[in-house]
Amino acid sequence: MVEKSEPEDFPDEDPLEGGVYLDSSALAKLYVTEVETEDLESFLVGRTDLMISDLCITEVISAVARRRREGALDAKQANEIRRAILDDAKSASFRRLDLTPAVHREAERMLLSSQSVALRTLDALHVAIALSGPAVRLITFDDRMKAAAAVQGLEIVEL
- The pLDDT value recorded for residue 8 is 43
* pTM, entire model: 0.86
Quick check: is 33 in a domain? Answer: yes
Quick check: is 143 in a domain? Answer: yes
Quick check: is 53 in a domain? Answer: yes
Burial 74-112, CB ≥16 within 10 A → b, else e: eeeebeebbeebeebbeeebbeebebeeebeebbeebbe
pLDDT digits (tens, 9 = 90+) for 29-58: 999 999 999 999 999 999 999 999 999 999
Average pLDDT, the chain: 89
Quick check: is 1 in a domain? Answer: no
99: domain CATH number is 3.40.50.1010
Quick check: is 84 in a domain? Answer: yes
Tell me which DSSP letter residue 6 carries. Answer: P
How far apart (Å, rounded) are the C-alpha atoms in residues 139 and 141?
A: 7
- Omega of the bond leading into 7 within 30 degrees of 0 (cis): no
Quick check: is 56 in a domain? Answer: yes
- The pLDDT value recorded for residue 118 is 84
- The count of domains in the chain is 1
Of the listed ranges 1-5, 22-26, 116-120, 140-144, the least confidently predicted one is 1-5
Domain limits for position 71: 17-156
% of the chain at pLDDT higher than 90: 82
How far apart (Å, rounded) are the C-alpha atoms in residues 4 and 131?
A: 25
- The pLDDT value recorded for residue 33 is 92
Q: DSSP string spanning 70-108?
A: TTSS-HHHHHHHHHHHHHHHHSTT-EEEP--HHHHHHHH
Quick check: is 3 in a domain? Answer: no
Tell me which DSSP letter residue 15 carries. Answer: G
Check pLDDT > 50 for residue 7.
no
Residue 72's CB is within 10 A of a number of other CB atoms, namely: 12
Burial 54-71, CB ≥16 within 10 A → b, else e: ebbbebbbebbeebbeee
Quick check: is 38 in a domain? Answer: yes
